[in-house]
A and B are shown apart, each in its own frame.
Chain A
Amino acid sequence: MTWQLTKKHNFDAVFDSQKLFRLLLEAISNPTRIVDIKEIADKLFGSYPELLAVAMTLLDNETGFSIYGSDSLSADIAALTLARREAVSAADFIFVCDKSGIQEAIEKAKYGTLAQPHKSATVVIQSDGAQAGSLTLSGPGIAGAVEIPVSQAVKDALACRAAQNYEYPQGIDLIFVSDKGELMAVPRLVKVVE
């Protein structure tokens, strides 16, 4: 009897995570810019390869994570990155697989302290990518104010985050991915301009 060993994914822990990190850095430094992570996400598997790609790049056994909406993604992230599963209020990274989890995830996410604002959660949200209007954003990384088309998930998440009224520098940072491989980040200082 011969055994056929197959690799579950082709994501390169050194080069693909470097590439994805640079795209993430580009997105978070230029908050209205959408970067394309499809090529890298396609190397992974499951229903949420984009979320898994972000997890593979940033998570390890020093971080805790929590997930809304997919037990299988939770198992895959734990197995591939060795990150700890945590309660939402203690998680460094919260992955939200569908819109229904956005409000609770943001309300419960840890937002740091005035002295240690970096001890806050990054919430990574899967959006369906379907355009649901536009928003004008302003803040560091954006020249003036820029109007961009956004999905319903982005609208909901930004409205929910604004409703928390965090005292800066406290706050949470948001990353959005779509199943088309688009990634956008909205750090805490970037606000919707009415």
Chain B
Amino acid sequence: MNSNYNYAFLDEGSKREIRRSVLKAVAIPGYQVPFGSRELPIGRGWGTGGIQLTLSLIGPADTLKVIDQGSDESVNAVNIKKFVGLCTDVETTNDTRKATLIQTRHRIPEIPLRNGQILVLQVPIPEPLRIVEPCEEATKKMHAEKDYAPMWLQLYESLVKYKKVTIPTEYPCMVEGRYMMNPSPIPKFDNPKLHRAECLYLFGAGREKKIYAIPPHTEVVSLAFDDIPFERESFAGKKCRLCGSENTYLDEIFDPQTGERFFQCSDTSYCQEVRRHVSE
């Protein structure tokens, strides 16, 4: 551990402020609590919100897992894991079940998380209304008044123009029937995992300086019309080329040499686990 810095890099005052914001965020599910986002040795937009949450939460008893687009081995995941390891000495793992704290970008693991586990999501744009209203003061007022009509109109226009809702990721949802929330850039496939989950979800946006949360057993409903239900991505007829799973979120990979397209699990640790089971 690098002893030139405080444990978990941040100073205690910063951690306390983030911790107070986290408690408020859990008490008001889906509401974006502003916080004083700190400078970190990486640029804003590279997961600083998630990192600040992780650093404020982590302690010697934790086991950390970091994933980026489902992968434990991508550059972002490896570097964040190394950085947190350098300033805390906590154990790190690729195994979703072993981890107490999971920081992630763009995916929720395939294995359902249990109570006691915390999933920290990195968020680039926390404001779901930003696509219909550029002014922060105005969106704040819209949330205060629960005025979500422009967002519903956006969905309706999408239906009229393209005959389907065209939002692929960051699909907005309503939390406890009160707040419209951006679930971070997870695919629609993962949205249902937020609804009445066992684990705690924390969302951190470092550049936009917002923290929000979904506690366990909280109602999270993806936006849909009565006659046009919410639909996840469908991978019907496709399966992972490595483990053969047919019920996971699949990445499409293109081989320019052969022109071949194939699919494999985006959650690498799940894929490896399935293959281990098959070989045993």
Contact = CB atoms under 8 A, between A and B. Distances in A.
Looking at chain A's contact residues, the main secondary structure is: loop
Given A140-B215, A141-B215, A26 B116 contact: yes
Contacts, number: 106
Contacts of B27: 28, 173, 187-189
Interface in A118-164: 118, 120, 122, 140-143
A117 B31 contact: yes
Contacts of B24: 118, 120, 173
A52 to B, nearest CB: 15
A168 B140 CA distance: 15
Contacts of B17: 60, 62
Nearest to B141: A115
A30 interface: yes
B20 interface: yes
Given A25-B23, A29-B215, A118 B31 contact: yes
Given A14-B6, A30-B115, A140-B217, A22 B57 contact: yes
B216 interface: yes
Interface size bracket, A side = 35 or more
Nearest to B56: A21
The prevalent SS among residues of B at the interface is mixed
Contacts of A142: 217
Interface in A1-44: 13-15, 17-19, 21-22, 24-26, 28-30
A101 interface: no
A114 to B, nearest CB: 4
A169 interface: yes
A60 B16 contact: yes
B181 interface: no
Interface string A157-194: 00000000000110001000000000000011100000
Contact of B23 (A15, A17, A28): A28
A59 B179 CA distance: 28
A74 interface: no
Contacts of B116: 26
Contact of B12 (A17, A115, A117, A141): A17
A14 B216 CA distance: 27
A187 B144 CA distance: 19
A142 B29 CA distance: 13
A25 to B, nearest CB: 7
A114 B25 CA distance: 15
A168 B178 contact: yes
Contacts of B31: 117-118, 169
A141 B216 contact: yes
A58 interface: yes
B20 A115 contact: no
B143 A115 contact: yes
Given A173-B27, A187-B27, A57 B215 contact: no
Contacts of A100: none
Nearest to B100: A22
B176 to A, nearest CB: 6
Nearest to B118: A25
B218 interface: yes
Contacts of A187: 26-28
Interface of A: 13-15, 17-19, 21-22, 24-26, 28-30, 57-60, 62-63, 113-115, 117-118, 120, 122, 140-143, 168-169, 173, 187-189
27 contacts: A15-B60, A17-B12, A17-B15, A18-B15, A21-B19, A24-B23, A25-B118, A28-B27, A29-B200, A30-B115, A57-B16, A58-B19, A59-B16, A60-B17, A62-B13, A63-B20, A117-B31, A120-B24, A141-B217, A141-B218, A143-B216, A169-B31, A173-B27, A187-B26, A187-B27, A187-B28, A188-B27
Given A140-B218, A187-B27, 13 more contacts: A14-B6, A14-B7, A15-B59, A21-B19, A29-B215, A58-B19, A60-B16, A62-B17, A118-B28, A118-B31, A140-B176, A140-B217, A169-B178
